[in-house]
Amino acid sequence: MQPHVPCPLSTGKSKEAEIKRINKELANIRSKFKGDKALDGYSKKKYVCKLLFIFLLGHDIDFGHMEAVNLLSSNKYTEKQIGYLFISVLVNSNSELIRLINNAIKNDLASRNPTFMCLALHCIANVGSREMGEAFAADIPRILVAGDSMDSVKQSAALCLLRLYKASPDLVPMGEWTARVVHLLNDQHMGVVTAAVSLITCLCKKNPDDFKTCISLAVSRLSRIVSSASTDLQDYTYYFVPAPWLSVKLLRLLQCYPPPEDAAVKGRLVECLETVLNKAQEPPKSKKVQHSNAKNAILFETISLIIHYDSEPNLLVRACNQLGQFLQHRETNLRYLALESMCTLASSEFSHEAVKTHIDTVINALKTERDVSVRQRAADLLYAMCDRSNAKQIVSEMLRYLETADYAIREEIVLKVAILAEKYAVDYSWYVDTILNLIRIAGDYVSEEVWYRVLQIVTNRDDVQGYAAKTVFEALQAPACHENMVKVGGYILGEFGNLIAGDPRSSPPVQFSLLHSKFHLCSVATRALLLSTYIKFINLFPETKATIQGVLRAGSQLRNADVELQQRAVEYLTLSSVASTDVLATVLEEMPPFPERESSILAKLKRKKGPGAASALDDSRRDTSNNDINGGVEPTPSTVSTPSPSADLLGLRAAPPPAAPPVPVGGNLLVDVFSDGPTAQPSLGPTPEEAFLSPGPEDIGPPIPEADDLLNKFVCKNSGVLFENQLLQIGVKSEFRQNLGRMYLFYGNKTSVQFQSFSPTVVHPGDLQTHLAVQTKRVAAQVDGGAQVQQVLNIECLRDFLTPPLLSVRFRYGGTAQSLTLKLPVTINKFFQPTEMAAQDFFQRWKQLSLPLQEAQKIFKANHPMDAEVTKAKLLGFGSALLDNVDPNPENFVGAGIIQTKALQVGCLLRLEPNAQAQMYRLTLRTSKEPVSRHLCELLAQQF
């Protein structure tokens, strides 16, 4: 029975009257607690309940805590309930009463009274502090798996343990309890199973191998639910749908693992999934929205599992067809979810063609949907389903939509169109037309990455330069011309204007007049670019020299308020006056082709989409058979002839804005095309103004227990997710060249709450700072919910090193300080320079490194299946060049490379001998430095 509050406390005529009434009540309660007369249980409960109510009204309470603790020792349920409620709401983990509270909780847990046990477990879960976890983490698993525990107690224990694990994972050692917790999936009580699935799903994400036995039990339980009639599970049937919440949880648990290895289990699971898809086609058993919601929840989770497995072509196509039916459903939410799921299906080689059959429906959704979020998902799906057969249609529709698109998604649409136009260009004249249309329609949303890229491609391809010059010349003749178009036009005409100069309509004076008519309407950065174009014109078209010198000599240039424009005018005027024709031609010669590199457009799109978007944007799982000019192979120095502008779109690595190689004699004449201010040569080395001092190792905690495992995952790769929990995801992309490196760290806030005081710091333990220089850029101190921030690290290897730097991340989440320390994935092999050598040279060098201290050898058992192609990929990822026809045994792998440091170079030779019959490896490394040999041997051995 709830205690009665005699007077309504919050119904005063004014705020002052309410405060006066509450203060009077507080004084009365205080006098009762301090009075000589002892209060009975009911009175104490009544007054504690009043205090709780006053606190919930927003007023501070500074007494009554001891009376609430005393209520915990009562044998009456209502009194104990109010005591636990008061403690859960008002007592913090630092309270002096926490020891008394813990003693009361222990007594209730040991009482074997299920009602009291549940109250105690609820209190532990609600407080959820580390102190509570330390006190009860060992007792709760015992209660959970005890044979005499009531079902309600087991439910509460499972959910309480889940709460403690999320707060402090290290306090919940499940080793001895694992098998018995998994066995709860067979429990007869559906509530216990539901709670157990939630717990196991969380636990298996950290220790998947320990809970692998749950797969068969989950499939068995799911099969029984799916095949049951709505009358079989009456207590757990929701609007004619049997146990929908448990079904969804089981399907999510199965998504933590790959497809079952056991053929019988896999067959039973496939049968379950087919049954769910079949039931989705049946007429509804109720017209109420609750029935359709429950039914669709199971269906969408089933489709998520099918997509996760990506191994059953029949199920993938059926899932796609089922989602296609939802694309025109009257419910907006269903249309949204269908578009979102089909985006993922489009990346599968089995279902991509099935997704393409719905292209007309998706295009119609892009045009007619009233909800902007649904239109955005439609644009995402068009992007995902695009290939060579429909690229022109999709790009055309997205350009048409761009003219009326919502401002919030215009930049994203621009990036998608730029990527698709480049990737699936059947000819580059179409690509140039598309990008210029993009600038014309949405010039304000065309980022530097987009127009940088079109300049790279035009510069690198001779066959499109004339067409690009003609097209951009015509575009500049429009009365209203966006500034980005002027930038592109200035660069292209400055380099290739001579290709259209033969036409009187685009003669050199006409080209110059057209560009100069835009000069006074542009920003300083664009004017600087145009001045560089003018000096190029003097070299290309000598007949324009006098006119251009007149422009440069004008007072508005030589005495310009902007120092950059003034300096360029003076230098270019002097250069054109004193340099001979030959010198001028040398200084202002045509720009050489840009070095092939990864495009930053795709990386920018992924950053914009936020955490978890990589799978939706990455189509690397399909379309791997075409390796032509639009294809999916990354060029290597030995295979590149004419650089392909599209090969770089298949990587995830972001590149800095393109810049030209240094120009001899005259300096940076056209490097400024790619800068907003004074020119500067790009460098992997850090600049002092971008760096800040890092705290010492003594200021941070030790690395998390799994730090070494996370580090080992990146020994042979440069991109991926470094760390992820319920709050934070940290992604890594890095590139290394000789002794320099650049690393991009992406911090994603997975919650809806803003991170405060966000501070990621790189720390050098020991004397590492003398071996490895790492300088970082600051990031914003606040990270909004669902947002992602990027941090750039510039790295220089000074000398060989053995220990990686540490990454300390600190922030406040919901008022609670959070911190974690990881090992930054920078290992000595990242500075490997692959070295090709003939067999004779290899053996000669091998003999030279024959001192005992120069060799490190390890014989070890294979931890993974022994696959030659996988082994080859790992060795290449490690940084070594693989040498063919060197080892007499063709099954062995031989590699060579040089570790580049600022102080010295360390030569390295390796030999890996697999023994498939014994499932063993022998790894031998020889280097010119003893510690490097041992360290590289340990690093590489852990990869096999």
Residues making up the annotated binding site are 32, 42, 46-50
Angle between helices 359-368 and 391-402 (to 10 degrees): 10
Report phi then psi at 502, rounded to 5. -70, -20
Strand partners, 735: 742
Two structure tokens written together for 253: 């648990």
Closest of 608, 606, 624 to residue 387, by C-alpha = 624
| 476 neighbors 512 (Cβ within 8 angstroms) | no
CA pair distance 454, 425, nearest whole angstrom: 12
| 657 neighbors 674 (Cβ within 8 angstroms) | yes
CA pair distance 65, 96, nearest whole angstrom: 10
Amino acid letter at 862?
A
Q: Which residues contact 542 (CB under 8 A, 6 or more apart)?
A: 581
The DSSP element (H or E) to which 362 belongs, if any, is: helix 359-368
Closest of 902, 736, 758, 891 to residue 825, by C-alpha = 736
Burial of 38 (0-12, 13-18, 19+ CB in 10 A): exposed
Residues 563, 566, 568, 572: what is their CA dihedral angle, to the nearest 10 degrees?
-160
Task: Give me the half-sphere count of Cα atoms (radius 13 Å) on the Cβ side of residue 702.
Answer: 4
Rounded alpha-carbon distances, angstroms, from residue 323 to 40, 276, 289, 345, 910: 63, 13, 19, 10, 52
Q: How far apart are the first and last CA of the chain?
A: 65
Residue position matching structure tokens 């922030």: 811
CA pair distance 797, 276, nearest whole angstrom: 56
Strand partners, 732: 720, 745
CA pair distance 387, 626, nearest whole angstrom: 11
| 774 neighbors 826 (Cβ within 8 angstroms) | yes
CA pair distance 940, 829, nearest whole angstrom: 9
Angle between helices 41-56 and 15-34 (to 10 degrees): 150
Other C-beta atoms closer than 10 Å to the C-beta of 938 total 14
Cα 881 from chain centroid (whole Å): 30
CA pair distance 153, 167, nearest whole angstrom: 21
Q: Which residues contact 749 (CB under 8 A, 6 or more apart)?
A: 611, 727, 728, 755, 783, 784, 785, 786, 787, 788
Two structure tokens written together for 648: 């770089």
CA pair distance 60, 517, nearest whole angstrom: 70
The DSSP element (H or E) to which 693 belongs, if any, is: none
CA pair distance 555, 559, nearest whole angstrom: 5
CA pair distance 720, 618, nearest whole angstrom: 13
Other C-beta atoms closer than 10 Å to the C-beta of 862 total 15
Cα 450 from chain centroid (whole Å): 22
| 115 neighbors 77 (Cβ within 8 angstroms) | yes
CA pair distance 467, 473, nearest whole angstrom: 10
The DSSP element (H or E) to which 122 belongs, if any, is: helix 114-127
| 472 neighbors 488 (Cβ within 8 angstroms) | yes
3-state secondary structure of 563: helix
